Every structure is written in structure tokens, then in C-alpha cells.
């Protein structure tokens, strides 16, 4: 058991938010990283943290004592490149077009996604993606905090709200047009080879198509580019849905109320029949011992109360020794 645990901890593990909307993770920051590792054919396990939606550390990858957080050195993909673990961009770094497209995706499209999730739509999609495992008082407060923070980041005030919205959608439309032209009918954006740009763009497109509501303005602008939609669905089938039938991590979009908090038990690719038998026996023994322990506690308390002749539950205890000294 310990050896399996150690092996598991040495394997690269990607920690993201939970799956939703038929995607392995519906968070627009986490999905690109998932796709990047898939495009690089790098084996990894998937694990979830569903109680820290406002963390800037998530997504992160870990292997043993090595951890690459999202809020360090420009992101996890940059960390993986820097640490020599995975690098799909070695030949593209100096291509001007590539750099420009990257800047456009990481600013205009990222801003548009942030706006649409938290401000542009009714927020239901965002709540499902990030808050499905949290209690409603916490959800309410975190949601309001996040909306405020997004508005601050995008410079939206009461006076310029409409104007900013137009600007954001206009930029997104320009970006979609440029990327659609760049893509054409190819499999990938550059040189028919995958890069981190494909991972980031695919992540954005898949979340826009599957997570945002049908009334979303951003979604409707994206649907105007058929080749981009086909590109995304094709890769989704290849990377995400085909991997679910192989030995890779399993996922399924499930209603939140029945989703357990801890992901790894859902994602194990080991056959379940044998461990399940042991687990039942062990569980029975543990339950029995727990019952004995609690019963022993109860017996001790009851014995104590009866033998020591516990006092009444009175508020005040006077010193009875002096009672009626003069009156005896």
C-alpha cells in the first residue's frame, strides 16, 4: 500500500477544479493545461480541489516534492518548460506571429472569458464550475467578491459598463477572426504541430461552447467561425473522450449533489473488484471497533456519574460545611 502510494506520488499529478459540462475540468485556466499535457502525450493523473475556487495557485502540477504553481513564473506551462519537463514551443518562440497570437489569446480572449463568466451572463455557469461543492453562504460571498474583483481588473465602472462591454466583445471578435484565419483547415495553429497556443485556444473554445449559456454573446460570436468549432470538437474527441475509454483518468460530468468531494477515488484506473472486497471487511472491523470505543466511553461516563454520585445540575454550590453552625 505504501509502495503504491509512493509510486502514485512520484507520477505527475495535475490538480484542477472539478469536471463539469462534459469536460474534464470546466475552469478556463485549468483546461488548457490538461490539453497541453495531452497534446504532449505526457502521462499524468488528474486530481481535484473543489473547495478553493479563488486560489491563484490552482491549477498546479506535482510530482513527489516538485510542485509547479500557476501563480509562479508566468504559469504552469512556463514552469514545465523552464524545468525541462514538457516543452512544445521550442521552435515557435521566435516566430512573430506566434508571439502576437499568444498575446492576443492571453489578454483579449482571457478578458472576454472572465467577463462573460462573471458579469456578462447570469453567473450560473461560473457557480457550477467553481462552487458546486461549497455551502451557499460561502458561495454568495465568494461570488460577490469575485464579481467585484473582475470588474476592478477589467476597469468596469457604473459609468463605462456598456462601453467596456462593447470593447471586450469587439476585441474577442477580432481575435476569433484572426485565429480562425490563421487556423484555416489545419489541425493545429502553427506548422501543423501542437503548441501551447493550441492548448490555450482549445481550452478557451471548449469552455465557451460547452459551459457558457446559449444566450451568451461571446458564444454566439465564436459560433460564426465554423472551422474553429470543428477544430475544437475534433480535438475534444481525440484527446478527451478517447482517453476516457483507455487507461487514462476517467471522468464524467455528474450532478453536484452526488459528487464526492475527493476526486482521486473516481479517477483510479485500477480494477475495482478486488480492493472493494477487502475494503468492506476492513470497514466492518473499523466500524465494530469504533462502536466498541464509543460504547466504552459511554459506560465510563455513566459509571462515573453513578459511583461518584454526581451533584445536581445546580448553578451554585455553597460551602455546606458552615451550614447552620449556630443553629444546630
Partner 1 sequence: MSNPDSVPDLTPPDSERQKPFDTSEIDEEEDNGGDENDVEDDDEDEGGNDGVFRGPNRPKPQSREARFRSEKLKMESLLQRMKTGPVSVRVHDVIIKGNTKTKDHIIEAETEVLNNVGSMQELLKASQIVNLRLQALEIFDSVKITLDSGPPELPGTANVIIEVVETANPLSGQIGAFTKAEAGSSTVEGSLKYKNLFGYGDLWDGSLAYGYDHSTELSAGLYLPRFEGLVTPVTARAYLLSQDWLKFTSYKERSMGLSLGLFSSEHHDVAYNIAWRTLTDPSQVASRSVRRQLGHNLLSSLKYTFKVDRRNSTMRPTRGYAFFSTTQLGGLVPNNRSLRFLRQEFDIRYVVPLGFYRAALNFGVSGGVVFPWGNGFSSKPSSLPERFFLGGNISPVCALGGPTALWGFKTRGLGPTEPRRQVNDGTADPSGVDYLGGDLAFTALADLSFDLPFRWFREKGIHAHVFACAGNVAKLTENEYRNFSVQKFVESLRSSVGVGLVVPTSFFRMELNYCYIVKKFDHDRAKTGVRLTFSAS
* Residue numbers at the binding site for partner 1 (CB under 8 A): 1, 9, 15, 47, 49-52, 55, 57, 62, 64-67, 69, 72, 133-135, 137-138, 141-142, 257, 260-262, 265, 279, 282-283, 286, 290, 293-294, 297, 300-301, 304, 308, 310-311, 313-318, 322-328
Rounded to a whole number of angstroms, the minimum distance from the CB of residue 282 to partner 1 is: 5
Nearer to partner 1, 83 or 191 (CB): 83
Which cell is 212 given? 457558457
Rounded to a whole number of angstroms, the minimum distance from the CB of residue 315 to partner 1 is: 7
Half-sphere exposure of 270 (CA within 13 A, CB side): 10
Which cell is 224 given? 460564426
Nearer to partner 1, 159 or 318 (CB): 318
Rounded to a whole number of angstroms, the minimum distance from the CB of residue 152 to partner 1 is: 21
Rounded to a whole number of angstroms, the minimum distance from the CB of residue 75 to partner 1 is: 14
Nearer to partner 1, 43 or 282 (CB): 282
Nearer to partner 1, 234 or 252 (CB): 252
Sheet hosting strand 60-63, strand order edge to edge:
45-48, 13-16, 60-63, 66-68
Please tell me whether residue 29 adopts helix, strand or coil conformation. coil
Phi-psi region of 21 (alpha: psi -120 to 50; beta: other; left: phi over 0): left
Angstrom distance (rounded) from CA 179 to CA 228 = 8
Nearer to partner 1, 158 or 318 (CB): 318
Rounded to a whole number of angstroms, the minimum distance from the CB of residue 135 to partner 1 is: 4
Rounded to a whole number of angstroms, the minimum distance from the CB of residue 149 to partner 1 is: 16
Backbone angles phi, psi at 58, to 5 degrees: -95, 135
Sign of CA dihedral 288, 293, 296, 302: negative
Rounded to a whole number of angstroms, the minimum distance from the CB of residue 313 to partner 1 is: 4
Nearer to partner 1, 145 or 153 (CB): 145
Cβ count within 10 A of residue 56: 10
Nearer to partner 1, 74 or 213 (CB): 74
Give exposure, 14-30, as e/b (b: 16+ Cβ within 10 Å).
bbbbbbbbebbbbbbbb
Angstrom distance (rounded) from CA 183 to CA 190 = 8
Angstrom distance (rounded) from CA 179 to CA 71 = 27
Rounded to a whole number of angstroms, the minimum distance from the CB of residue 147 to partner 1 is: 17
Angstrom distance (rounded) from CA 301 to CA 308 = 10
DSSP state, 107?
Answer: I
DSSP bridge partners of 16:
48
Nearer to partner 1, 155 or 324 (CB): 324
Amino acid at each position: 500500500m505504501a509502495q503504491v502510494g509512493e509510486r502514485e506520488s512520484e507520477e505527475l499529478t495535475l490538480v484542477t477544479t472539478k469536471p463539469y459540462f462534459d469536460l474534464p475540468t470546466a475552469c478556463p485556466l485549468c483546461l488548457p493545461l490538461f490539453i497541453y499535457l495531452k497534446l504532449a502525450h505526457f502521462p499524468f493523473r488528474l486530481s481535484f480541489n473543489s473547495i478553493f475556487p479563488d486560489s491563484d495557485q490552482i491549477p498546479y502540477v506535482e510530482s513527489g516534492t516538485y510542485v509547479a504553481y500557476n501563480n509562479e513564473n508566468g504559469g504552469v506551462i512556463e514552469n514545465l518548460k523552464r524545468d525541462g519537463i514538457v516543452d512544445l514551443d521550442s521552435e515557435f518562440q521566435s516566430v512573430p506571429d506566434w508571439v502576437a497570437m499568444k498575446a492576443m489569446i492571453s489578454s483579449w480572449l482571457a478578458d472576454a472569458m472572465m467577463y462573460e463568466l462573471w458579469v456578462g451572463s447570469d453567473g450560473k455557469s461560473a457557480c457550477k464550475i467553481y462552487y458546486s461543492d461549497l455551502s451557499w453562504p460561502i458561495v454568495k460571498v465568494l461570488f460577490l467578491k469575485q464579481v467585484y474583483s473582475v470588474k476592478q481588473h477589467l476597469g468596469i465602472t457604473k459609468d463605462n459598463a456598456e462601453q467596456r462591454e462593447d470593447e471586450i466583445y469587439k476585441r474577442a471578435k477580432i481575435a476569433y477572426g484572426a485565429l480562425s484565419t490563421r487556423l484555416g483547415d489545419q489541425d493545429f495553429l502553427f506548422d501543423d504541430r501542437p503548441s501551447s497556443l493550441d492548448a490555450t485556444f482549445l481550452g478557451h473554445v471548449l469552455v465557451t461552447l460547452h459551459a457558457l449559456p446559449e444566450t451568451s454573446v461571446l458564444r454566439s460570436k465564436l459560433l460564426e467561425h465554423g472551422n474553429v468549432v470543428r477544430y475544437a470538437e475534433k480535438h475534444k474527441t481525440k484527446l478527451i473522450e478517447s482517453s476516457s475509454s483507455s487507461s487514462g483518468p476517467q471522468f464524467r460530468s455528474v450532478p453536484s449533489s452526488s459528487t464526492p468531494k475527493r476526486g482521486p477515488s473516481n479517477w483510479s484506473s485500477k480494477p475495482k473488484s478486488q480492493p472493494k472486497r477487502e475494503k468492506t471487511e476492513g470497514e466492518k472491523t473499523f466500524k465494530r471497533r469504533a462502536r466498541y470505543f464509543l460504547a466504552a466511553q459511554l459506560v465510563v461516563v455513566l459509571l462515573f456519574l453513578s459511583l461518584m454520585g454526581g451533584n445536581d445540575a445546580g448553578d451554585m454550590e455553597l460551602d455546606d460545611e458552615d451550614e447552620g453552625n449556630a443553629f444546630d
